[in-house]
Every structure is written in structure tokens, then in C-alpha cells.
Amino acid sequence: MQVRVIKSRADNPLAGLEAAAAIAALTFGYKLIPQSKAKNFEDYVEVVEDKGVRETIWIFNDLGVVDVAGEQVKLMTCLERFNDLEWCDANADSPIANVRHLHENHKLWRKFFSENKPMILMRRGDRVLKIRSDASEEDKNKWLKLL
């Protein structure tokens, strides 16, 4: 049996590009090795220099090809294309590029929402006020008086 191992070292096992590549491969129809032959997925924390380092491993069966938009693509080729943002930009009509761009957009929006606070919406009758949730108490009180 020929296998392809994808490893990710990140606190969140779904945060890295490696995890996105593994999930993309599963989405396209590539298969993990049969569970009866060996473990096909591992997630553990290793202590390195007194710190816990999380590692996630996916083990794929690397024998076959998958039809990706009419093209027979080997797993390694799919992963290389997925990891090559320039290839994805140049081949924007490819499903591989679409999944990679989805990953990039999702990552940007997750970062945006983690770094920005929502507005506070207040209503009095038919009047509406939106205040930044991190506004000072002085600013909040000033705007509330106007509502």
C-alpha cells in the first residue's frame, strides 16, 4: 500500500494550510487508508522544550486518481496545486483553486471577526443607535442621551 502523510503542527488542528489541504483532498474524493490496516488519523500533543505542541496527521491511500472537473488527478498533484496560490490564481476555474480560495477567504473573515468587536444596537421607539462595543463610557452616555 502506498500512502501519503499530511502533518499539521498547530494549536487548532483545523487552522493550518495542511489541514485545509487534507480536508480539500477528502472533499475531492481521495480516501484515508482503511482503518483496519492502520490508524488513518492521529491527533496528539507532544511535549517539546517544556511546551505542548499539537500535531495532527492524516494518512491517505496514494494509489488512485480522482476525477477533478474531467481531469484524472493524483493526490500529490492535487496537494501541490492546492498549496500553490499562484497556480490557483492562474487556474481560477479549477475546483482545486476554488476550494483554496474558499479557504483563504474563510481565514481572512475569521481573522476579521476575531480582531473586531460587534456594534451594540439600541432602539427607543422608532429610533435606532449603533455604538461601538469598545466605546468609552463617556461616549456611550453622550450618544444614549441623544437617543
* Span 64-73, average pLDDT: 92
Predicted pLDDT of residue 2: 85
Could you list the residue range(s) of the whole structural domain that residue 42 is in? 3-115
Same domain, yes or no: 127 and 95? no
Same domain, yes or no: 99 and 70? yes
Predicted pLDDT of residue 145: 83
Same domain, yes or no: 146 and 103? no
Sign of CA pseudo-dihedral 110, 112, 117, 120 = negative
Residue 18: HSE in the Cβ half-sphere, 13 Å Cα cutoff: 15
Predicted pLDDT of residue 9: 86
Same domain, yes or no: 35 and 106? yes
Same domain, yes or no: 89 and 124? no
**Strand positions, DSSP E, 17-103:** 41-48, 51-61, 65-68, 71-74
Q: How many structural domains are present in the chain?
A: 2
Same domain, yes or no: 73 and 87? yes
Same domain, yes or no: 69 and 38? yes
Decide if pLDDT at 84 tops 90: yes
Same domain, yes or no: 136 and 111? no
What's the longest Cα–Cα distance across the chain? 72
Predicted pLDDT of residue 40: 87
Same domain, yes or no: 132 and 98? no
Same domain, yes or no: 123 and 102? no
Decide if pLDDT at 36 tops 80: no
Decide if pLDDT at 102 tops 80: yes
Same domain, yes or no: 92 and 30? yes
* Span 76-82, average pLDDT: 95
pTM, whole model, 2 decimals? 0.74
Same domain, yes or no: 52 and 123? no
* Span 53-67, average pLDDT: 90
